[in-house]
A and B are shown apart, each in its own frame.
Chain A
């Protein structure tokens, strides 16, 4: 087992990881910013290293300082927690280069899943359903044809999109005809890129997650789902497990397909997600 783990995080998750390490008999190293020197994770860890000034960019995201802290203390693994460096592929590569284990998925999986378009492409290849959508629309005729196939209501979205610009909700062909040029003009004005596409609009959807764990030999398990629909501005407020909307047959199918599909996908997990 690892001899010593550095926790590249702060707050409750740093405390959570330190507690798990203690129970496993693994030594721990906390890192902290100048603003956090009196916090609990610093007190609970066996060793601690200050990695910079209060702003996250200069401390918890400061890769050279965090790598130095790991080397000085002789840590053989780094747990990134969530946020900060947890999904930073470059950081995982740097850990690898320095023979320090990054506790998370393998680098190729981070690259694949970090890019939403690639992740969606992978899901499609594995026959996991994705929200029906189109490629860039050539003209109104194509838009009308594709919208009919997908089924109304649909969302017109800008390829370069963000912040709701170039986005239009339409419920009928007449609305699509009226709103397509508006969305294009808005996207052109906002992003200097007028390309738009369509996506099916889901009415009052739920946000459901499936917890998956996998090991290096390719064993993958699904540990049920979580209902995370209570959100404000895309930030979760309250979650529950299991979801009352997921019936036993759906659960069997959903966790079952994911399990098999992810195994087939040749992604070898070093962590969970």
Chain B
């Protein structure tokens, strides 16, 4: 989508997406359940006119990586606490004592924050990130905190080159 709001088709990903939970949070649907039903041959549980998008949801991908150099971080998770509270969802597989190995992608989990509006979801996400504790390996949580406090992101002035431009300007850290 260009700055004038014009759309261009790029691709269609024929699979469930990593970030599907934010759609689930604003629509109330369980997309995996829908996938399983339609694969079995059942009809969709919902019609277009029944779909309601309510509130706003943000997802932060928590990766096992150095927040400054982005090199993967491996090792034993000595201590782990995921956040909770109203509007917070965490999709993760890691537990305290697990070993993060170098064989696969660095995704440790995803924190989702729902709010009645965008400001509330940002506020809830900031609280969730502050509460989150992962010891023993490095994560990109500090980067998420800084991103969510940057004026361009708070105001929603987003584009695909923004994060790299901000990193290049050394705005963070």
A residues less than 8 Å from B132 (CB atoms):
none
**B171: interface (CB < 8 Å):** no
| Docked-complex contact A229 and B5, CB < 8 angstroms | no
Interface residues of B (CB under 8 A from A): 1-3, 5-20, 22-23, 25-27, 29-44, 46-48, 51, 53, 56-61, 70, 91-95, 98, 101, 103-105, 107-110, 118, 121, 140, 143-144, 147-148, 153, 156, 158-164, 167
CA distance A226 to B44 in the complex (A): 21
Which 9 pairs between the two chains have the least Cβ-Cβ distance?
A204-B159, A20-B32, A229-B158, A86-B15, A103-B39, A123-B9, A244-B156, A239-B19, A241-B22
B residues less than 8 Å from A189 (CB atoms):
none
| Docked-complex contact B15 and A204, CB < 8 angstroms | no
**A173: interface (CB < 8 Å):** no
B160 → A minimal CB distance (Å): 5
Question: B7: which of A14, A15, A208, A240 is its contact (CB, 8 Å)?
Answer: A208
- A 252-267 to B, binary, CB cutoff 8 A, 1 in contact else 0: 0010000100000000
**A116: interface (CB < 8 Å):** yes
A223 → B minimal CB distance (Å): 5
A-B contact pairs, 10 of them (CB 8 A): A56-B104, A82-B16, A113-B13, A130-B9, A208-B7, A219-B47, A237-B140, A237-B147, A250-B7, A273-B14
Question: A270: which of B39, B93, B108, B121 is its contact (CB, 8 Å)?
Answer: B39
Query: Which of under 10, 10 to 19, 20 to 34, or 35 or more describes the interface residues of A?
Result: 35 or more
**A94: interface (CB < 8 Å):** no
B residues less than 8 Å from A2 (CB atoms):
36, 39-40
If the complex has contacts A237-B143, A242-B53, A271-B39, are A17 and B2 also in contact, measured as CB distance less than 8 A? no
If the complex has contacts A1-B40, A131-B8, are A54 and B101 also in contact, measured as CB distance less than 8 A? yes
| Docked-complex contact A254 and B7, CB < 8 angstroms | yes
Kindly identify, within residues 213 to 266 of chain A, every residue whose CB is under 8 Å from any CB belonging to chain B.
Answer: 213-217, 219, 221-224, 226-233, 236-242, 244-247, 250, 254, 259
CA distance A243 to B121 in the complex (A): 13
CA distance A39 to B5 in the complex (A): 44
Most buried by A among B15, B31, B59, B107: B15
CA distance A38 to B27 in the complex (A): 34
If the complex has contacts A204-B3, A221-B51, are A272 and B16 also in contact, measured as CB distance less than 8 A? yes
**A105: interface (CB < 8 Å):** yes
CA distance A16 to B93 in the complex (A): 9
Question: A82: which of B6, B17, B36, B104 is its contact (CB, 8 Å)?
Answer: B17
Closest to A209 in B: B17
Question: B9: which of A120, A219, A247 is its contact (CB, 8 Å)?
Answer: A120
B residues less than 8 Å from A205 (CB atoms):
1-3, 8, 159-160
CA distance A203 to B3 in the complex (A): 7
If the complex has contacts A12-B93, A213-B38, A239-B59, are A20 and B144 also in contact, measured as CB distance less than 8 A? no
Closest to B58 in A: A240
CA distance A96 to B17 in the complex (A): 23
**A55: interface (CB < 8 Å):** yes
| Docked-complex contact B70 and A232, CB < 8 angstroms | yes
B156 → A minimal CB distance (Å): 4
| Docked-complex contact B34 and A203, CB < 8 angstroms | no
B147 → A minimal CB distance (Å): 6
CA distance A99 to B153 in the complex (A): 48
- A 101-132 to B, binary, CB cutoff 8 A, 1 in contact else 0: 11111000110011010011001000011110
| Docked-complex contact B93 and A221, CB < 8 angstroms | no
Question: A232: which of B53, B91, B118, B163 is its contact (CB, 8 Å)?
Answer: B163
